[in-house]
């Protein structure tokens, strides 16, 4: 018996998708400098979050993502049984997250967005373009889970107050912030030779230009949302994260959002969704798995 086993490990489709989802969450958390968000530099506008907690939370979600993909394979079709199964698994994932973080919300929105996308990807491994996966995810999100509790969440409170479209509507519309903003900008900045980290930052900024981020609305109201959207656009207009002027604008945006306590957590989740879909599109689900 050898201590080191060099046999390649065979992993299942569900395990592979869970790996990809957790990787996307860790890549999002590590990406720096993100305006007012937790990153390698610090905690941004947050007092209760830090990078180690984001990593631990991402890893704690692996079983939930795997089980969602397995549910997709078991039920095999979009319908209420699958929707209610992933709703239950998502709520269990949230409990695992809260147990890991001692009750802090690190990834609530991410469980929702990435959970739907992992399920949608597993449903048809031959149709893995971002457009196809988000369309299936939207059809799932449109189904009403009869067992979902309806708490007066922060998102629900700002939806009442400002009439904002939140995480649920973003998914039901097929993740327009990802498909129309994040992914195209990521690809444009890569093609312009801006480097991977700058391209990812630009993808995040593109999402921020137009999102009704309910985290920002709850923490900083409409002035906070306005500052986020216009500040992000100003960075892109100045040439993006790879340009000197763009970097200056990004630094100003970081300072301004921290001063307003306006952390764009919803945009961060959608960047993770962007990175997941990009990886699936580029590598396929099974590349490197055997
Ligand atoms: C739909 C969810 C996100 C609740 O949304 P709601 O707006 O009521 O809640 P909350 O204020 O806690 O916000 C959720 C999070 O979404 C993210 N978010 C904020 N704004 C946006 C936006 N415009 N678009 C996308 N995500 C956003 C943020 O990270 C935020 O923290 C979800 O938690 C839920 O209902 N889960 C039930 C379990 C389930 O059905 N799971 C299904 C399989 S994953
Ligand atoms: N790098 C990140 N930094 C901060 N938040 C992030 C990051 N990545 C994702 N998020 C998302 O932001 C959300 C946390 O934001 P926030 O703390 O504002 O939520 P909350 O619990 O509704 O608010 P509060 O902390 O004001 O009570 C999580 O749902 C998470 O998915």
pLDDT > 60? residue 2: no
Q: Compute the distance from residue 106 Cα to the ligand 2 centre, in Å.
A: 6
Q: Exposed (0-12), middle (13-18) or buried (19+): which is 77, by Cβ within 10 Å? A: exposed
pLDDT at residue number 290 = 41
Q: Compute the distance from residue 38 Cα to the ligand 2 centre, in Å.
A: 9
pLDDT in tens, 59-108: 999 999 999 999 999 999 999 999 999 999 999 999 999 999 999 999 99
Task: For ligand 1, atom 23, name the residue with the nearest CA.
Answer: 166
pLDDT tier for residue 8 given thresholds of 50, 70 and 90: low
Q: Kindly state whether residue 76 falls inside one of the protein's structural domains.
A: yes
Q: With a cut of 0.90, is the ipTM above it? A: yes
In whole angstroms, give the CA distance from residue 69 to residue 101: 24
pLDDT at residue number 151 = 85
In whole angstroms, give the CA distance from residue 97 to residue 108: 8
pLDDT in tens, 159-198: 999 999 899 999 999 999 999 999 999 999 999 999 999 9
Question: For residue 180, what are the domain limits?
Answer: 13-283
pLDDT > 80? residue 144: yes
Q: Are 83 and 112 in contact (CB under 8 A)?
A: no
Q: Kindly state whether residue 187 falls inside one of the protein's structural domains.
A: yes
Q: Kindly state whether residue 290 falls inside one of the protein's structural domains.
A: no
Q: Kindly state whether residue 5 falls inside one of the protein's structural domains.
A: no
Q: Kindly state whether residue 8 falls inside one of the protein's structural domains.
A: no
User: For a pocket test of ligand 2, which of 29, 218, 224, 265 has the largest count of ligand atoms closer than 8 A to its C-beta?
Assistant: 265
pLDDT at residue number 130 = 98
Residues with CB under 6 A from ligand 2: 28-29, 37-38, 46, 49, 54, 105-110, 154, 215, 219, 263, 265, 268-269
Q: Kindly state whether residue 4 falls inside one of the protein's structural domains.
A: no
pLDDT > 60? residue 1: no
Domain count, the chain: 1
Mean pLDDT of all residues belonging to the chain = 95
Token pair recorded at residue 249: 């604008």
Q: Which residue has the higher pLDDT, 154 or 9?
A: 154
Q: Kindly state whether residue 199 falls inside one of the protein's structural domains.
A: yes
Q: Kindly state whether residue 209 falls inside one of the protein's structural domains.
A: yes
pLDDT at residue number 234 = 98
pLDDT in tens, 239-278: 999 999 999 999 999 999 999 999 999 999 999 999 999 9
Ligand closest to 165 (CA) is 1
φ/ψ bin of 165: left (φ > 0), alpha (ψ from -120 to 50), beta (otherwise): beta
pLDDT at residue number 289 = 47
pLDDT at residue number 150 = 86
Q: Are 186 and 278 in contact (CB under 8 A)?
A: yes
């Amino acid at each position: 018996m050898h201590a080191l086993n060099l046999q390649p490990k065979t992993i299942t489709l569900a395990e592979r998708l869970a790996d990809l989802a957790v990787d996307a969450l860790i890549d999002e958390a590590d990406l720096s400098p993100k305006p007012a968000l937790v990153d390698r530099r610090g905690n941004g506008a947050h007092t209760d979050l830090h990078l180690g907690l984001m990593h631990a939370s991402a890893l704690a979600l692996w079983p939930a993502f795997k089980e969602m993909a397995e549910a997709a394979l078991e039920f095999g079709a979009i319908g209420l049984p699958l929707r209610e199964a992933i709703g239950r698994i998502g709520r269990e994932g949230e409990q695992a997250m809260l147990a890991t973080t001692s009750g802090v919300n690190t990834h609530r929105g991410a469980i929702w967005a990435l959970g739907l996308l992992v399920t949608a990807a597993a449903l048809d491994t031959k149709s893995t373009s971002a457009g196809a996966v988000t369309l299936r995810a939207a059809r799932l999100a449109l189904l009403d889970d009869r067992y979902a509790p309806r708490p007066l969440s922060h998102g629900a409170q700002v939806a009442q107050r400002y009439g904002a479209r939140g995480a649920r509507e973003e998914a039901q519309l097929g993740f327009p912030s990802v498909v129309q903003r994040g992914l195209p900008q990521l690809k444009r900045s890569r093609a312009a030779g801006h480097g991977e980290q700058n391209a990812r930052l630009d993808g995040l900024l593109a999402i921020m230009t137009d999102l009704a981020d309910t985290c920002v609305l709850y923490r900083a109201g409409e002035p906070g949302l306005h500052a986020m959207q216009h500040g992000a656009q100003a960075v892109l207009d100045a040439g993006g994260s790879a340009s000197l002027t763009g970097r200056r604008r990004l630094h100003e945006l970081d300072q301004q959002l921290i001063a307003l306590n306006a952390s764009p957590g919803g945009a961060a989740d959608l960047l993770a969704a962007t990175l997941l879909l990009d990886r699936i599109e580029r590598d396929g689900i099974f590349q490197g798995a055997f």
